[in-house]
Chain A
Amino acid sequence: DGGITQSPKYLFRKEGQNVTLSCEQNLNHDAMYWYRQDPGQGLRLIYYSQIVNDFQKGDIAEGYSVSREKKESFPLTVTSAQKNPTAFYLCASSIRTDSPLHFGNGTRLTVT
């Protein structure tokens, strides 16, 4: 079955460390996205990519970085510059950027 796989489900890191969240899709979708979810704030867009080797900043890109070397993969690195990294992170993909999104199951990141 096609889908989006995010790993790990839970991630714990010490403050000051960079951490990379994995997102893999086998839906053959061109567009991929990273969202951050905080209580009471809905989902906010971090980065998105419309095609391999290209990506754009979303609304809250500071302290994050991404790469898109393969169509199937869109890893997100949370750097030590991100002031408030503890959150639930959702990866999504779509056939095109004007199509409905398919979401992964998310990664809960806790930084202490």
Chain B
Amino acid sequence: AQTVTQSQPEMSVQEAETVTLSCTYDTSENNYYLFWYKQPPSRQMILVIRQEAYKQQNATENRFSVNFQKAAKSFSLKISDSQLGDTAMYFCAFMKGPNFGNEKLTFGTGTRLTIIP
């Protein structure tokens, strides 16, 4: 079974600074996907970024980027130029590769990020 670990329950950073959220996972699979989801106070889950394990290049979406270290099974999220709207719970998630059957997301326990004005 896959496990996802987020070791930082809470973090805070000053507005405009850069922050990195950690995530490690455990799997015996070689083909899989990794995700970061954001849950603001409204509790709507929003996809931030996605990484395919077979891609060596780290995914980037505007101010959000990941550091994917496959051998270390690490998948950290970097938020640059942080904004007040980035305040949210951030969840790391894992999904096995397409086997036409049992794909499902396994979530970490989340990191509560607060951006301080």
Contacts and interface: CB of A to CB of B under 8 A. Distances in A.
Contacts of A98: 33, 95, 97-98, 103
Nearest to B93: A43
A97 B97 CA distance: 10
A84 B88 CA distance: 26
A103 B108 CA distance: 17
Interface of B: prevailing SS: loop
B35 interface: yes
A103 B44 CA distance: 7
Interface string A88-112: 1010100011101111111000000
Interface string B82-117: 000000000100010110111111111110000000
Contacts of A104: 44
A42 B91 contact: yes
A63 interface: no
B45 A92 contact: yes
Interface residues of B, number: 26
A98 B33 CA distance: 8
A100 B50 contact: yes
Contacts of A43: 45, 91, 105, 107
Given A41-B109, A98-B95, A103 B104 contact: no
A105 B98 CA distance: 27
B109 A42 contact: yes
Contact of B109 (A40, A48, A100): A40
B34 to A, nearest CB: 11
B115 to A, nearest CB: 21
Contacts of B11: none
Nearest to B104: A45
B98 A88 contact: no
Contacts of A42: 4, 91, 107-110
A42 B116 CA distance: 24
Nearest to B45: A103
A96 B46 CA distance: 18
Contacts of A100: 35, 47, 50
Contacts of B4: 42
Pick the most buried of B42, B43, B44: most chain A CB atoms within 10 A of its CB. Answer: B43
